[in-house]
Amino acid sequence: MGKPFQMEAIQVAPPREFEVRVRIAGVGICHTDIVVRDGFNVPAPVVLGHEGAGVVEAVGAKVRHVKVGDHVVLSYNSCGHCKACRDERPPFCLGFYPHNFSGVRPDDNSSPLSIGGAMMHGNFFGQSSFATYAVAHERNTVIVDKSLPLEIMGPLGCGIQTGAGAVARALGLKKGQSLAIFGGGAVGLSGLLAARALDAANVIVVEINPERRRLAKSLGATHVVNPTETPDVLAAIKELSGGGVTHAMDTTGRPAVIETAFQTLLPGGMLGLIGVPPPDGVLSINLMDLLIRGVGVKTVIEGDADPQEFIPQMIRWYQDGKFPFDRLISKFTFDQINEACHASEKGTAIKPVLVMPKD
């Protein structure tokens, strides 16, 4: 923890009865991977990576919906039987933490990974896909068409799903409605892509980085705002949107930014919170203002999306030319993982993807 990633040769066990083993073609780097590398509470040593895509090369005896040779995208895991999962809300699975962050299989604290005979922590987001092979569960394995560019499809399983799902699922943006996005990284720009796919009206992106503002504009943002050069961001958004927006989303986690986002909402509007706040972060929102305007605030995990349903939806948009998420991606070779992380941290790459060797 707190050090660069290291490449090691490890052993990957055959899949258990409900598991699949996937040869990874490409894996995205998510901000969560970097946060865990830097010390978030996950046991180490551990194989991270949770935006994997690849080809199934082995399946467990009780797997029914996935077969050897399928092209798949791996997403977050869930228990499949708690109330949230039964209600088709797997991001709010009551066992979300053990199934995604414990570093082991939650049923028996084992791992499919080992090194020199000793257990290596894995099962990160039910996959640990910073590897040439990953063991996932049938539940978090989504079959995709073999005509798709498999090596770049992995980010649909988390970062892109989170931003697009926040707009399309959690906030329920509809045609002709408006949206303000605070933060133009992978999650924010994925939200922009979803808004454009849904034929939104005004979509305003607030972002410091000039390259990201230019990209947002080219991806269909109606307006972009540089908060470092705009004395009053709230006034600017109200002017650009004709008085305010129906929806807003924050990807920064900064309380001051969230408070501004809240004030951009028209009566009846909804604010989605995606960014991770500081542990002691608090909001100062006037309750009478909240009541009178009838606005709401909603936290968002994994875009409120069921991967088995929403990943195919994003792919349909992509195939129809409405969701060019590939424009967010920068490719790196597998052994360039630390360079890719650095590019993500510096903002020079929006969504780094590690491409695996072919042999």
Predicted confidence at residue 304, as pLDDT, reads: 96
pLDDT at 163: 98
Looking at residue 279, what is its pLDDT?
Answer: 82
Say how far apart CA 181 and CA 205 lie, in whole Å: 5
Cis peptide before 45 (omega within 30 of 0): yes
Q: Note the pLDDT of residue 131.
A: 97
What DSSP element (H or E) covers 60?
none
Split the chain (359 residues) into runs of 10 and give each run's mean pLDDT: 94 97 98 91 94 98 97 97 94 96 96 95 97 97 98 98 97 97 97 98 97 97 97 97 97 95 96 90 88 93 96 98 98 98 94 91
Cα separation, 307 vs 156, in Å, equals: 9
The pLDDT assigned to 10 comes to: 96
Q: Which amino acid is at 190?
A: S
For 287, the enclosing helix (H) or strand (E) is: helix 287-293
Could you tell me the two tokens for 139?
A: 């539940």
SS3 state of residue 304: helix
Dihedral angle at the C-alpha atoms of 244, 158, 125, 333, nearest 10 degrees? -140
Q: φ and ψ at 319, to 5 degrees?
A: -65, -25
Q: What angle do CA 74, 50, 12 make, to 5 degrees?
A: 80
Answer for the pair 354, 329: CB distance below 8 angstroms, yes or no: no
pLDDT tens digit sequence for 132-173: 999 999 999 999 999 999 999 999 999 999 999 999 999 999
Domains delineated in the chain: 11-157+324-355 (3.90.180.10), 160-301 (3.40.50.720)
321 and 193 in contact (C-beta within 8 Å)?
no
Strands (E), the chain: 11-12, 19-28, 52-59, 71-74, 113-115, 118-120, 133-137, 141-144, 179-182, 203-206, 223-225, 245-250, 265-273, 296-299, 329-333, 351-355
- Which residue intervals of 93-180 are DSSP H helices? 96-101, 159-165
Q: 329 by DSSP, 3-state: which?
A: strand
Rounded to 5 degrees, what angle do the CA atoms 44, 48, 49 make?
175
